[in-house]
Amino acid sequence: MPQITVLIPMYNAADTILDALESIVSERDVDLEVVVVDDRSTDGSAERVRSLGDPRVRLVEGPHEGIAAAANAGLAQAGGEILMRCDADDRFVPGRIARQAVWLDGQPEYGAVCGYVQTIDSKGRVIANFDALGASMELTDELRRGNAYIHFNAWAIRTELIRRAGSWRPFFICSEDVDLQLRLGEHARVWYEHALAYQLRIRESSITHQKSEAFIRFYKDAARTFQRQRLSGRADDLALGQPPEPPASDEPGARIDVGEQIRGQLIGQAWHELAHGHRLRAIRTAGRACWRAPSRWMVWRNLIVVMVKSLPGLAPRGRREDS
């Protein structure tokens, strides 16, 4: 099996970094190195990493110039043939590293493989599964249409491909991974394997919840605009040194509320489970949304509707029905 590098950019993640690392180094049957880029943390994160005492884990200093620059600092230190990325507050799922590495080793015509993501809350409790496609399939054409469905941290990529595609671009304060995904799809074939690969923690400190929705949307739109320019046969505006002017980082506007996001994911998961015939599971998931927001009539209404739809005569036909 080829050597794998797992890259972790880290900034002030003392409360979660050991959980992230343990989810990775628990895989013992892989040739593995973990490169943690400490982007000048001030909360003792680096000491937590050292306390693990695992020789497969290397700590390098980051430039403190944003997430893209930190990721590139780690890429410069990567020795593995395959690269995967993990954020310092998230988790890999058991067996994911070996499964994706074996798949890539057996499919030389592909440059990357990815799986789906499961969200968890600040205490590590499962919220919802984000299985965007529902079946294994080639993802290349979707990427070339600007559809970056899969969270980048659920990917395994040939390291030379990332370097050839241009790695992460520091212009992107966020959505730097959307930009890279789209460029990877222009350079190589990508496969989606229908398997859980990553646990994404939903919490206030993430950039998704620190910036306005308009600010985040600007960078996602920029990534797709740049791709359209490249696919038209020319260099994109960023490569030409003519990028659009980003909005101010403190731009006023609505932020994505963590509580609302979790409730929305639970409601969506309940309906997904109901559609697949998991009636009791759907009721429990809808009930969890009520437990998180007992004063919100909307979540109680949703629970009632799910319960009514779960009655035997109203259950979706042609689906497996279990708990």
What is the chain's mean pLDDT, rounded?
Answer: 87
Q: Categorise residue 71: left if φ over 0, alpha if ψ from -120 to 50, beta otherwise.
A: alpha
Interval 26-52: pLDDT, tens: 998 899 999 999 999 999 999 999 999
Domain locations along the chain: 4-204, 258-314
Q: What angle do CA 229, 230, 236 make, to 5 degrees?
A: 65
> What pLDDT does residue 319 have?
44
**CB-based contact 161:184 (threshold 8 Å):** yes
What is the mean predicted confidence (pLDDT) over 239-261? 74
pLDDT at 323: 37
- For residues 288 and 163, which has the higher predicted lDDT (pLDDT)? 163
For residues 58 and 81, what is the distance between their CA atoms, to the nearest angstrom? 17
Longest CA pairwise span in the chain (Å): 62
Number of DSSP helices (H) and strands (E) in the chain, helices first:
12, 10
Question: What pLDDT is recorded for position 121?
Answer: 87
Specify the DSSP class assigned to residue 305. Answer: H
Model pTM score: 0.82
Q: Which of 73-87, 124-138, 236-250 has the highest mean pLDDT?
A: 73-87
Query: Do the beta carbons of residue 82 and residue 6 sit within 8 Å?
Result: no
Distance CA 226, CA 236 (A): 5
Alpha carbons 87 and 43: distance in angstroms, whole number: 17
Is pLDDT at 263 greater than 80 in this prediction? no
**Residue 286: is its pLDDT beyond 70?**
yes
DSSP codes joined into one string, 223-292: HHHHHHHHHTTS--TTTTT-PPPPPPTT--S-B--HHHHHHHHHHHHHHHHHHTT-HHHHHHHHHHHHHH
Q: Does the structure show a pLDDT above 70 at 256?
A: no
For residue 190, list its beta bridge partners: 112
DSSP string, 200-213: EE--TTSHHHHSBH
Residue 129's pLDDT band, with cuts at 50, 70 and 90, is: confident
What is the structure's pLDDT at 308? Answer: 81
Contact (CB, 8 A) for 105 and 92: no
CATH ID of 4-204, from 3.40.630.40, 3.30.300.30, 3.90.550.10, 3.40.920.10: 3.90.550.10
Residue 320: pLDDT band with limits 50, 70, 90: very low
